Structure formats: C-alpha cells, structure tokens
Amino acid sequence: MEPSSAHIQELRSAFFKKLETEGAPVEGGFHPVDLARVKNSDDWLRRFLIHHEGNLNDALQMMWDCLEWRKTFGTNDISESNIKMEYVNEGCLFTHNRDKDGKSILVFKSKKHVKGQKDMDELKRVVVYWFERLERMDKGNSITLFFDMADTGMSNMDMEFIKYLIGLFKVYYPNFLNYIVIFEMPWILNAAFKIIKTWLPAKAVQKIKFVNKSTLKEFVDPDQALKSWGGNDEYVFSFVPEQRLNLPLDKNDETRKKVKNFNSSLSILPTEVINFVNDGSELTGSVSLTNTSEKLISYKKVGFRISHSHLMSSFGMEPRLGDLASSVRMKLRLGDWIKTTSPEKFRVRPSMGTLSPGVSISINVVLQPGYQVPGLSRDKFLIMNLPVDTPDMSAAELGELWKQLSGKNVEQHRLKCSIGASSTDGQIRNGTAFGSSGSTDVDRQISKILSQVTQLNENHCSLHADLKRSQKLQWLTITLVVVFGFAIIYFLGQEPRSVEEQTCFQP
C-alpha cells in the first residue's frame, strides 16, 4: 500500500519529536545532510514506510538506526578521494546498464574476489560508495544486485561480504532492492545460498532469481546483457568518476542549527562495537583511548542498557590511577566515569581518569558472573570527554567536575556490545554495527556446511574418477570379448575344411 502524505508527515513528526526528547545517539548529532532529507524529502520517508509495509514504529526505528549508522560510518563523506581505488579499478563491483524494469544493475563479479585477500573495512567503504552513487544517480530508485558466479569456486565465496551486502539493503537502504539475480551459480555453492536465504525476510527471498545464459533474458534484455552473459553488450569495465553536484542544504532547516560539530580530541578503538571474548572463566572486552590533541582532556565512560528509562545510576568506581600516564606535562586532562541502568552487571577498570596529549590507555570491561550472555547485545557504552585545565585532579574532583558540566564542550562516543572471538594474533577483533550479535554461531554453522560441501565435492571427484576407470575396464572387456568371439568363429570355420581335405586325398 502506497503511504499517504499524512502518513509520511506523521513519520517525520515522530522522528523530530524523538530527536527533541532523546537527542541524537551519536556525537555531534546526526549529519546535517540526513536531517535535511528527513525534513524535505517525502520520497525518502516513503521508502521507509514501504519497506515496513506501513508500520510507523518499525519505519521510525529503521530511520533512526539508519541516520546513526550514516553518521558513524561517514556515509555522506565517502567519495573517490577517500576510498581504496585499487579495489574499484579491479572491477569486482561496478554498475552498468539496466534490467527489464529499468532498474540499474550493480554487478558483483565473484571470480575477481578472493576471500581474505582484501581489507574488509576498505571493501565495505567501496560498497557504500556504489550504493550512494546509485542513490544519487537514480534518485533513490531501487536497484538489481547481480551476482556473476561464472567460474566461481569455494575460494571466491565470501559469506561475510555477502552478508554485509544483504544487510545494507535490509537495515540501512529502505526499499532499495529490486532483484537479486544469481548468474550461473555452481552447484557446489547451493548450500551456501540456502544460508543466505535465511538472512532475508520472506518477501525478499522471492526476489532471488537463479539464471543462466538461456534464462537471463527474462530479467535483462540481450542488448543490456554483457557478452559473457550471453548478451550483445561488449562492455569492458573501466571506472568513470562520478560527476557530482554539491546541492546546498535547506537554509531554513532549524534542525541543522542544533547540530554541534566537534573536532574530536579522543581516538577510540574499536570505533563501533566492543567484542567480548572468553578470557579464562570471564567474558571480557577492551577499549583503547588515545588523546590526539595537544591539550589534556578528561574522559568519562558511561555504560547503559537500552531501555525505556533514561535514568542511569553511577557505578561509583574509583579509577586505578596507576594505570594512567604521568600528568607532569599535561595542559588538559580527560575524566572517565561510568553510569548504567544495571550497575551490577559490568566491572570496568579504570572507570574515570585523565589522559595526557599523545598518551593511550586501555579500559577493560568484564561481564560479571551470573548474567546472561544473550542479553549482552542490548547493552551499550558511552564514552564522554572534555578539556580540563588542572593537571593533577583527584577522583573526587573529577567526579565533581562531571556533575557540574554544562555539556557545551563534551564529546560523546557510543559503542555497542557483541559476542566475538579472538583473532589469530591474540588481540580482540571488534566488529561493525551490523550483524555483530550472534554472528559467531552463524559463522560456525556456515563453516560447518561449507566443510561438508567441500567433503562432498571431494567424494564426488573420487566417484567420478572411479567411474572413469570402470568405463575404461568395461571397454577393454568388451574389446577382448569381441576379439575372442571373432577368433572362435574363425577357428570353427577352419575345422570343416580340414575334414574335407582329409577325405579327398585319402588313398
């Protein structure tokens, strides 16, 4: 059902009411470009409503999450100047021509992508670049994702990358998918695509189309299909930079005036998600803070659980000053203080302190025994920092400082939580905002299935070789039988003649 103007306006009002009540969940607020789209673009809001079949609450939540991700990921700032052009020029992912519905085709040439050979974060930025470019080119019209699986093997099947692609359509780009066309998929990858289908809602599963050279014409005209697909287009990929227009934002946008842009003085790793891993009998995560300014800054780490209540009680933890760097040369310090709706759930050390220019500190977060691991994905941590002038502030003085702050100079950094695993070098591997929770079980299941598929393929090859040998033996047996048969016939034909000769010449 097509959303009405009243329904669109209701969604817009609900968004700005939530923004006024709760504030933006990212430092500096939502990006002005995105706020302008919410205020001025009925088409964009209509897509959220269509994506959720008119459900206002679901559309609002998706729009809220979308704007948070766009600001955190830096989506509006992505261009040819800040992505890895080496990946773009390989032609693994590109857009060319349109399908029968007039939708742009985004082509993923699987054989040019080998799992594990590219930096996944850089690859994600390339994907978002193409998504944003297509949005601008077609004004938000939906696109067809074309998986060219010709000559693809197990080494080209990157489930993490495909999951990210699908996740963008599902979570951050509403009503943006027309079809998923899968061209000449090898049978060995059938099991993998059964897993992929589980990541899609039922209505999206219906959009998956498996085609070959003879059936592609049902979705793409021959003149729009490449020669390698059985079409008439002799196109060979060559990157063409986007001709981009910098349109001014609405000058009357009041929401833009509310946005604060901070020149962040605190570097935080991980940037989005704290992955908790098993460390002996404990589930732990860590966050690294670095003062990148020339001043001393004060940091405050606030942990909170997503809930309808905005009240947070203090952990009341004292910082371990022994973990902090010397502050002799500090001009500005950073204070850390943790608050949460479930103070008994986490142990955080150090929870508040100061940080010298250029100095780093590692904050350890431990899930207390007795708490359910599945609920961890609903928790978040907020790190706050501000400049201070006094170099040697006590914990009590820092606590008093944070109570009296006006919020004018405070930076905020939010981190989500997920269950992860240790990387091969022993460091904690931190994920991205999408698809972190529960990804370990899914990846384990995928690995198990792919292992079984590989074993099945090996067995198939072995049976095929045995069959070939059996066929050769059969042909050899048949040949010998025929030769032996002719020999018997020949000798049987010679025996009567010998008898006749003996009779004729008998004296």
Q: What is the mean pLDDT of residues 99-107?
A: 96
The DSSP code sequence of 89-132 is: HTTSEEEEEE-TTS-EEEEEEGGG--TTSS-HHHHHHHHHHHHH
Q: How many CB atoms lie within 10 A of CB 493?
A: 9
Given a cut of 70, is residue 374 above it in pLDDT?
A: no
- CATH number belonging to domain 266-437: 2.60.40.10
How far, in whole angstroms, is CA 338 from its chain's centroid? 30
At 324 the pLDDT is: 30
Which residues have a Cβ under 8 Å from the Cβ of 440 and sit 6 or more positions away? 419, 420, 421
Tens digits of per-residue pLDDT, 298-341?
555 444 333 322 222 222 233 332 233 222 222 333 444 444 44
| CA dihedral over 435, 437, 442, 444, signed as positive or negative | positive
Torsion of CA 147, 152, 158, 162, to 10 degrees: 10
Per the model's pLDDT, the better-predicted residue between 194 and 472 turns out to be 472
Q: Which CATH number fits domain 85-229: 1.10.150.530, 1.25.40.10, 3.30.1300.10, 3.40.525.10?
A: 3.40.525.10
Q: What global pTM score does this model have?
A: 0.55
Q: Please write the tens of the pLDDT for every residue from 105-150.
A: 999 999 999 988 899 999 999 999 999 999 999 999 999 999 999 9
Instruction: Annotate 211-243 with b (16+ C-beta within 10 A) or e (fewer).
Output: beeeebbebbeeebbbebbbbebeeebeeeeee
| Burial state string for 465-483 with b = 16 or more CB within 10 A and e = fewer than 16 | eeeeeeeeeeeeeeeeeee
For position 389, what pLDDT does the model report? 67
% of the chain with per-residue pLDDT over 70:
69
Q: Where along the chain do its domains lie?
A: 5-77+247-256, 85-229, 266-437, 445-507
Residue-wise DSSP of 214-282? TTGGGTS-GGGSBGGGTSSB-------------PPP-TT-HHHHT-------EEEESSSEEEEEEETTE
pLDDT over 90 percentage in the chain: 39
Residue 99 confidence class, pLDDT cut points 50, 70, 90: very high
